[in-house]
Amino acid sequence: MAPKAPTTTKSSTAKTATPNPSPKERSAAAKARLLAAANELFYAEGIQGVGIDRVIEHAGVAKATLYSAFGNKEGLIRAYLQARHDATSERMAKELAERYETAKERLVGVFEVQGLSFTDPSFRGCAFIGANADAPNIPAVEESSHNYRAWLHALFLDLAVEAGAKDPVLLAQQLVLLYDGSGISAWLDKDKAADNTARTVAAALVDAATS
């Protein structure tokens, strides 16, 4: 342990690169390691089932660093869920933009992008469903889930409007049902092809709504 960093006494004042980390950079790195550890452990074993000690050990960080960076466990939970939300929405936007042209294609393509995560061996269902089940009544969980659900509905609703659906609200609700159901089957039934099932139904619904 204690890798004894090479003592480069030369004060490297370069601002962009990090030959020698400044205090602010060290702090940011510790925060990122904590967030990565929380993501792995909370997602795999649940929020209540993972203690602070497990997180800091996995991150290789002192306990005081966690409390300095996030305040308390709820702060870490909030940051974990926020990072999940950001990663999911950014990946979805990126993949939809790269893969499809029209709103109609994207409405169906959402399920293909969703299915990309099903083959990940660490896949364990939607993190927000899990957080609501194992840590209800925690404000950070309720608020983050509310934001996530709003994003998911808006994703489908915006595309449904853009695609010219006759009843975009109804179409979006139907597709949300399929999206959640697909995630549940991929998780609990270990059905890695659940996205195909959902996509087929979604295509029929989109066609019927924009005929």
Partner DNA sequence: TTGATACTAGACAGACCTGTCTGTTAAAGT
Partner DNA sequence: ACTTTAACAGACAGGTCTGTCTAGTATCAA
125 binds a second copy (CB under 8 A): yes
Q: How is residue 80 written in tokens?
A: 């974990």
182 binds a second copy (CB under 8 A): yes
> Residue from 12, 102, 119, 200 that binds DNA (CB under 7 A)?
12
| Residue 177 vs residues 18, 95, 149, 202, 211: alpha-carbon distances, Å | 47, 21, 12, 10, 21
79 binds DNA (CB under 7 A): no
CA angle 112, 118, 119 (to 5 degrees): 110
82 binds DNA (CB under 7 A): no
136 binds DNA (CB under 7 A): no
**Which part of the chain contacts DNA (CB under 7 A), choosing from 12-20, 90-98, 162-170, 198-206?**
12-20
φ/ψ of residue 141, rounded to 5: -70, -45
Which CB sits closer to a second copy, 59 or 205?
A: 205
> Residue from 83, 129, 161, 203 that binds a second copy (CB under 8 A)?
129
Numbers of helices and strands, H then E, in the chain: 9, 0
Which CB sits closer to a second copy, 109 or 130?
A: 130
DSSP 136-166: TT-HHHHHHHHHHHHHHHHHHHHHHHHTT-S
Q: Which does 177 bind (CB under 5 to 8 A by kind): a second copy, DNA, none?
A: a second copy
> Residue from 36, 52, 161, 176 that binds DNA (CB under 7 A)?
52
Which spans of this chain sit near a second copy (rule: CB under 8 A)?
45-46, 48-49, 124-125, 128-137, 145, 149, 153, 170, 173-174, 176-182, 184-185, 187-189, 191, 194, 197-198, 200-201, 204-205, 208
